[in-house]
Structure 1
Amino acid sequence: MIETLKIKLLDGMHAHNEWECALEIPIDHSLDELHQAILCAVGFDNDHMYEFCIASSYYSRSAQRISCDDNKVTQETIETIFSKAKGKKLFYMFDYGDSWLFQINKSRKKCFSENPDTFYPRVVLESGVKPEQYPGWDE
């Protein structure tokens, strides 16, 4: 089954514009696979640590955090993480230096069967301007 997630950039050192996307992803994908999909959607390099957070606010003391070096990041799936996040929000923090903070929500769209001719995960809708991970840096 495929879930449609809304990924919204909330904050980051170089976040000067609003950006969000709708991402279709299999519900059995791990949090690590979701991390990879978000980086691909926003166009970032995978060169920093990250974590997922379940809480009413990312900065809440009672937040449940799953960091990139925790085994749960490969064991928790899209399906299981949202069952744990009922009544809370799911956040994704990438690069603790630049603090790219995203909020992840399930869309109102119901899960649907995977189309065998489609490669998932995939961005199906995008609005705003993608942030630059390293503005002013020449490759």
Structure 2
Amino acid sequence: ESYDFIHEHLYEFCMDNRMYSEYSYQYDPEDGSPSTDIAIDEIKLVKGQNFSLHYDYGDDWMFTIHVQKIEEESRKKPPTLLKAVGSVEQYPDWDEWDDEEDEDE
């Protein structure tokens, strides 16, 4: 949701930073029961660990996630985005690119 991506695409959390790894949590929108539906404390994250989000297998968006710290929490609260740099547009307006190419010719 931080990137405003749609949920119709396949995606996986690659716990060893390798796409299509056996050590991943995958989401399949047609399956109905995604393996990404897991509590974060059940995946045994450790401070300093890096893992990846591989989103949209056709476009292969890759994001590295770094575990900065782990805190015990007595109550549940929604995750918070701490920092963002730049912006991402999942489906840019390709027509604008075609217009620019036509002008260059």
TM-score (norm 1): 0.50
Where does the alignment leave 5 or more consecutive residues of structure 1 unmatched? 1-39
Cα 1:109–1:72 change in 2 (3 A) is closer
Alpha-carbon deviation of 1:94? 0.8
Contact 1:54 1:64 in 2 (8 A): yes
Identity %: 31
User: 2: CA distance between counterparts of 1:91 and 1:41?
Assistant: 15
The 5-angstrom pairing of residues 56-67 of structure 1 reads 57-59=17-19, 63-67=22-26
1:57-107: CA deviation from partner (whole Å, max 9, x where unpaired):
324x86512221365322x321121x1678863211110111111122222
Contact 2:14 2:25 in 1 (8 A): yes
Considering only CA atoms, is the larger Rg found in Structure 1 or Structure 2?
2
Where does the alignment leave 5 or more consecutive residues of structure 2 unmatched? 96-105
User: 2: CA distance between counterparts of 1:96 and 1:58?
Assistant: 13
Give the corresponding residue for 2:9. Answer: 48
Query: What is the aligned length?
Result: 91
Q: Structure 1 residue 136 and structure 2 residue 74: aligned? A: no
Cα 1:128–1:121 change in 2 (3 A) is same
Give the corresponding residue for 1:73. Answer: 36
Q: RMSD value over aligned CA atoms?
A: 3.3
TM-score (norm 2): 0.62
Q: Which has the higher contact order (CA 8 A, sep 6+)?
A: 1
- Structure with the higher strand share, 1 or 2: 1
User: 1: CA distance between counterparts of 2:26 and 2:63?
Assistant: 15
